[in-house]
Structure 1
Amino acid sequence: MEYIVEKIGMSRTITVPSKPVTLLRVLDAKVCEVNENSAIVAYKSGKKMNKAIEGQQKKYSISSEFNRFVTLEVANSEAGDIDLTPLAEAKVIKATFTTKGRGFTGAMKRWNFSGGPAEHGHRFGRRTGSIGNAEWPGRVMKGKKMPGQYGNTQNSVKNEIISFDAENKIIAVVGSVSGANGSLGRVKVAK
């Protein structure tokens, strides 16, 4: 079963020894249409409305606060509020979020290169260094670790659930989850 969640942030348990935990809030969602293996789910997002979204809301006759639609695997057999009982019984979840985008970065930051010596008289510094080959093959090989776009990619991590607060719809999972605080992602029950 899948759910749309918002990353609240990180905290820790008060047990000894304490464990780092990430808090995820399950967003309010409505199941609009149930197919064989998946369902169309509407959820609340801070994004602007457009004609296409208004048409979807009219088609499924839901309120205007639900302004995003996505296809998920759900436990529901019919349209209505999303069923949270699988989360209460789950032990492990798979969280998929978009990592923080760091823009165009150099090779040292992107690939954890050590760089050159920091003494007087050198010109190496934070540069990549030599990237080419000899006369054969006479080109830079594909996949060479070079400066470029770093972050802003999808990342999935399996986490153990410590607790699930059904009233406030908050999941506490052991360890970290990719993405900035406040970012939206998906959570799938793995076990």
Structure 2
Amino acid sequence: MINGLLGKKIGMSQTYAADGRRIPVTVIEAGPCTVLQLKTVGTDGYDAAQLGFGVKSAHRVNKPEMGHFKKAGQGAFAFVREFQTAGTCAVGDQFSCDIFKPGDRIDVTATSKGKGFQGVIKRWGFSGGRASHGSMFKRRTGSIGQSATPARVVKGKKMPGQMGNQRTTTQNLVVVDVRPEQNLILVCGAVPGPKNGLVEIRKGIKA
């Protein structure tokens, strides 16, 4: 058995609990994922399974990649990632969202939405200065260094810059519902990334 899957973020929706509560959820298409290669301690130094997800046209795959995919016998894949294994599986095996069940805690990793170059108020939540009487300090950064000691800007200072578009993991999201016939997982919580973006779903390390 593996500890995670690849999937695609579909978007937001809502569902209802048994007691009538309305629960906002993020819908994820999780799997089916095919085992392409097995990594072992003896040959690679660790145990893992390489999974393929998403259909890719064969004419867009080079010969070395296609030779690698042919071992599984399931065509070409758009995305390939590794996941830890616990137990036995074989090349060509397929896993779907039924490895999770309602109530499970999961960690979801994806590339967050890119928001471009942003100032400190949007990027870091600075409060800014007065907006009246010509202060010229409404949305500026403010003082960033020292005059004599150490006479430089300290590394790691919160400054304007690129916001988003980076690998992000949201931990301890709750699986509300699993629909194997549609390969869908309904998750309570904010999943990083845009609609139709690739997500990596793993069993929560803090669960």
In the superposition, the TM-score normalised over structure 2's length comes to 0.81
Q: 2:197 is matched with which residue?
A: 183
| 8 A Cα contact 2:61 2:76, kept in partner | no
CA RMSD in angstroms comes to 2.3
Paired amino acid for 1:70: R
CA distance in 2, matches of 1:77, 1:25: 22
Q: Tell which deviates more after alignment, 74-83 or 93-102.
A: 74-83
1:2 counterpart = 2:1:
no
165 and 61 in structure 1: CA distance in 2 versus 1, 3 angstrom threshold: closer
Q: 1:105 is matched with which residue?
A: 118
Name the SS of the counterpart of 1:44 in structure 2: strand
* CA deviation after TM superposition for structure 1 residue 76, in Å: 5.2
* CA deviation after TM superposition for structure 1 residue 69, in Å: 2.7
Cα deviation digits, residues 98-157 of structure 1 (max 9, x gap): 111112211111111122211142211221112121211111111111101111122222
CA distance in 1, matches of 2:150, 2:56: 52
CA distance in 1, matches of 2:55, 2:115: 24
Q: Tell which deviates more after alignment, 133-142 or 74-83.
A: 74-83
Match 1:56 to one of 68, 81, 86: 68
CA distance in 1, matches of 2:109, 2:14: 21
In the superposition, the TM-score normalised over structure 1's length comes to 0.87
Cα deviation digits, residues 65-103 of structure 1 (max 9, x gap): 424332223565212232344224761111111111112
| 8 A Cα contact 1:10 1:176, kept in partner | no
Name the SS of the counterpart of 2:22 in structure 1: coil
Match 1:79 to one of 91, 95, 110: 91
Q: 1:66 is matched with which residue?
A: 77
Match 2:53 to one of 43, 65, 70: 43
Paired amino acid for 1:4: L
CA distance in 1, matches of 2:164, 2:189: 20
Name the SS of the counterpart of 1:79 in structure 2: coil
CA distance in 2, matches of 1:9, 1:146: 32
**Unaligned segments of structure 1, at least 5 residues:** none
Q: 1:168 is matched with which residue?
A: 182
Name the SS of the counterpart of 2:100 in structure 1: helix
Paired amino acid for 2:197: S
| 8 A Cα contact 1:11 1:23, kept in partner | yes
1:21 counterpart = 2:33:
no
Q: 1:115 is matched with which residue?
A: 128
Name the SS of the counterpart of 2:77 in structure 1: coil
Q: Percent identity?
A: 34
Name the SS of the counterpart of 2:95 in structure 1: coil
Question: Aligned residues, how many?
Answer: 190
